[in-house]
A = this chain, B = another copy of it.
Amino acid sequence: MSGMADHSAPDLATALRTRGLRMTAQREQVLDAVRRLGHATPEQISDAVTGVDVTTVYRNLELLEELGLVRHTHLGHGAPAYRPADDDHVHLVCHACGNVIDAPPDLVDALAGRLADDRGFVLDRSHFTVFGRCRDCVAAEQTADSGR
């Protein structure tokens, strides 16, 4: 069957070849895992792939980011979250329940415009994360408060 070929890694092979680098099963697996998980820490990605050393996961995440195929954000704590580069949205992280909510990228357009106009600062959407409390957790807190 030749039909099942490169379905999950469209331009990986090309990107690698352009730089004289090699296509390996590990690289394909890491990229697949990032795409499948949406956003994940190196450790989570390492758990999601089989037979790939953690070291290789780190090295390939770095490489894939250089190739422009994945991006990373900080969703809290220490571990960076890697995500597919073409997955264009921003993140809302709830401090209370820990949930990560995806939001449309145009949410930051106004802010980006203001920063650009006022300060010449070019906002990086792909790295954009907002912390706060989600509706459910706010509601839960208010219920608790009123009970005091």
Which residues of A line the B interface, CB within 8 A?
A: 74, 76-80, 92, 94-95, 101, 103, 107-108, 110-111, 114-115, 119-124, 127-128, 130-135, 138-139
Contacts and interface: CB of A to CB of B under 8 A. Distances in A.
A94 to B, nearest CB: 8
A17 to B, nearest CB: 22
Given A78-B78, A101-B121, A115 B138 contact: no
Given A92-B119, A122-B133, A128-B131, 4 more contacts: A92-B121, A107-B114, A120-B138, A121-B132
The complex is assembled from copies of this chain, and their number is 2
Interface of A is mostly: mixed
A123 B114 CA distance: 19
Contacts of A94: 121
Given A76-B74, A79-B78, A111 B107 contact: yes
A135 to B, nearest CB: 3
A93 to B, nearest CB: 9
8 contacts: A74-B74, A77-B80, A94-B121, A110-B110, A111-B111, A119-B134, A121-B135, A128-B131
